[in-house]
Amino acid sequence: MTQDALIRFENVTRVYTMGQRKLFALREVSLDVRAGEFVAIVGPSGSGKSTLLNLISGIDKPDTGRVWVDAREVSAMGENALAKWRGEKIGIVFQFFQLLPTLTALENVMLPMELRDTFSNHRRERAQTALEQVGLAERATQLPSELSGGEQQRVALARALANDPPILLADEPTGNLDTATGARVVELLGELNRAGKTIVLVTHEETLARAASRIVHVRDGRIEEPE
Ligand X SMILES: Nc1ncnc2c1ncn2[C@@H]1O[C@H](COP(=O)(O)OP(=O)(O)O)[C@@H](O)[C@H]1O
> Dihedral angle at the C-alpha atoms of 38, 197, 59, 127, nearest 10 degrees?
-140
CB of 82 vs ligand X, minimal distance in Å: 19
Which residues is 40 bridged to in the sheet? 201, 215
Rg (CA), the chain: 17
> Is residue 203 a contact point for Mg ion (CB under 5 A)?
no
> Is residue 45 a contact point for ligand X (CB under 6 A)?
yes
Among 7, 25, 170, 189, the residue binding ligand X under the rule CB under 6 A is 25
CB of 212 vs ligand X, minimal distance in Å: 17
Measured CA distances, 176 to 194, 207, 222 (Å): 25, 16, 26
> Is residue 49 a contact point for ligand X (CB under 6 A)?
yes
> Is residue 173 a contact point for ligand X (CB under 6 A)?
no
CB of 95 vs Mg ion, minimal distance in Å: 8
Measured CA distances, 92 to 18, 64, 224 (Å): 29, 24, 25
CB of 23 vs ligand X, minimal distance in Å: 5
Smaller CB separation from ligand X, 21 or 120: 21
Q: How far is CA 226 from the centre of its chain?
A: 23
> Is residue 153 a contact point for Mg ion (CB under 5 A)?
no
CB of 24 vs Mg ion, minimal distance in Å: 15
Measured CA distances, 216 to 42, 64, 74, 197 (Å): 6, 21, 21, 18
> Is residue 50 a contact point for Mg ion (CB under 5 A)?
yes
**Cα–Cα distance measured from residue 9 to residue 13, given in angstroms and rounded to the nearest whole number:** 10
Q: Which residues bind Mg ion (CB under 5 A)?
A: 49-50
Residues that bind ligand X (CB under 6 A): 16, 23, 25, 43, 45-51
